[in-house]
Structure 1
Amino acid sequence: MKFAIQSRNDQLSNRLMEEAKGYLTDFGLVFDEDEPEIVLSIGGDGTLLHAFHKYQHRLQDTAFVGIHTGHLGFYADWKPEEMEKLVISIARTEYEVIEYPLLEVTINYRNLEKSATYLALNESTIKSSEVTLVVDVELNGEHFERFRGDGLCMSTPSGSTAYNKALGGAIIHPSLPAMQLAEMASINNRVFRTVGAPLVLPNHHKCVLTPVKGPDFMLTIDHLQLLHKDVKSVEYVVAQERVRFARFRPFPFWKRVHDSFIDSDI
């Protein structure tokens, strides 16, 4: 089996990376950063996001597993003191593959036939380069509303615990192929109205945002910030591709939610 390692680059993560690399090669695995079958992420959720985007062209052939060297993450199953146990599991155990939905983001440009397409593991946000974002929101070819506010966030189910939750969105189990649109400080008064609530959209729906005011937008794709100019529209769908995680033991989603947001000692 071929493997690669993504480190957060702090002292602890780098030490664990070198130890894991040594142990895995001793077990006969091959270190290959170009075509790994399994990627070990050592750090936090941000580290795994970097690993995902690095290997998103290999999603059908690569599975991810994480060691968290900070606070408990939603994508990192293992603690630093369990590293040797994980290495033995990787070398000797047939792992279960768990797949999570992804978000496909397509940016169409004015007066251009080309478009840009991205995949997001957590979410994509859109904000205006000016003070207020003004866009028409279209659902399945039908006009839904004209949004005015700071911005909009479209998240995946696994990303629903991140920025989406801070915006008041629902937490969605990642077994559900869906996407969620949440508002950022919408303008609601006697003149301007929005639905004022997050929208959970199934995987056969498409959401299109068309600019009304200003064609330049700041978009984020997970941790990546991108300024797009002369934008005609932004399209969101649940992606055909899915991210694959290697599971060597149960890692219940709701337990992660409980331990992260409530209290693991209660």
Structure 2
Amino acid sequence: MKFAITSKGNPASNALTQKVRTYLQDFEMIYDESNPDIVISIGGDGTLLYAFHRYSSRLDKTAFVGVHTGHLGFYADWVPSEIEKLVIAIAKTPYQVVEYPLLEVVIRYRNGGKEMRYLALNESTVKGLVGTLVMDVEIRGDHFERFRGDGLCVSTPSGSTAYNKALGGAIIHPSLPSIQLAEMASINNRVFRTVGSPLILPEHHTLVLKPVNSFDFHVTLDHLTVMHRDVKSIQFKVAKEKVRFARFRPFPFWKRVHDSFISDGR
């Protein structure tokens, strides 16, 4: 089996990275950064997001596993004290693959330029360069509302526990292939109205944002921010690809939610 390791880059994560690499090579596993069967992320959720985007072109061939070296990570199943146990599991145990839905983002341009397609594991956000964002929101080709506010966030089920949750969105189990639209500080008064609630769309529904009075935007894809100019539309839907996580022991989703947001360690 071929493996690669992504480190957060701090001393603790780098030391752990070297230890894991040495241990796995002692088990005659092959270190291969280009074509790994399994990627071990050592750090936090941001490190795993980086690993996901680095290997997004081979999601059908690569599985991910996370080790957190700081605060409890939502995607990280293992802690540094369990490294030997994890190494033995990777080297000796067939792992279960758990698949989570991803978000597809397609940006089209008014000048007819080549459309851009991206994948996100957590979410994508759209904000104007200056002032209020004004967007027409279409669902399945029908106009739904005209949004005015700071921005919009479209998240995956696994990403529903990240920025979406801070915006008041629902937490969705990742077995439900769906996307969620949440508002950022929408303007609602006697003249301008939005639905004011997060919207959860199934996998066969497509969400499209169309600019009204400005065509330049900051679009985030997880931890990445890209500026797009002369935008005609931004389309979101559940991607055909999925992210694959290697599970060597049970870690139910609702236990993960509990441990991340409710547990006080007792």
Q: TM-score range by the shorter chain?
A: over 0.9
Please list the CA deviations of residues 143-195 of structure 1 after superposition, one character each: whole Å capped at 9, or x if unmatched: 00000000000000000000000000000011110000000000000000000
| Residues 179 and 201, structure 1, Cα contact 8 Å, conserved in 2 | yes
For 2:187 and 2:254, how far apart are their aligned partners in 1? Answer: 34
Please list the CA deviations of residues 197-224 of structure 1 after superposition, one character each: whole Å capped at 9, or x if unmatched: 0000000000000000100000000000
Match of 1:63 in 2: 63
* Structure 2 residue matching 1:108: 3-state secondary structure: strand
In the alignment, is residue 236 of structure 1 matched against residue 216 of structure 2? Answer: no
Matches within 5 A, 1:1-266: 1-266=1-266
Q: Alpha-carbon deviation of 1:264?
A: 4.2
Structure 2 stretches of 5 or more lacking a match? Answer: none
* Structure 2 residue matching 1:213: 3-state secondary structure: coil
Please list the CA deviations of residues 42-93 of structure 1 after superposition, one character each: whole Å capped at 9, or x if unmatched: 0000000000000000000000001000111111000000001000000000
For 1:22 and 1:220, how far apart are their aligned partners in 2? Answer: 36
For 2:197 and 2:9, how far apart are their aligned partners in 1? Answer: 39
Q: Alpha-carbon deviation of 1:113?
A: 4.1
Q: TM-score, normalised by structure 2?
A: 0.99
Q: Which moved more, 1:116-125 or 1:67-76?
A: 67-76
For 1:213 and 1:195, how far apart are their aligned partners in 2? Answer: 21
| Residues 130 and 214, structure 1, Cα contact 8 Å, conserved in 2 | no
Q: Alpha-carbon deviation of 1:130?
A: 1.9
| Residues 157 and 176, structure 1, Cα contact 8 Å, conserved in 2 | yes
Moved over 2 A (4+): none
Residue correspondences, number: 266
For 2:112 and 2:27, how far apart are their aligned partners in 1? Answer: 52
Q: TM-score, normalised by structure 1?
A: 0.99
Question: What RMSD in Å do the two structures reach over aligned CA positions?
Answer: 0.7
Structure 1 stretches of 5 or more lacking a match? Answer: none
For 2:202 and 2:264, how far apart are their aligned partners in 1? Answer: 32
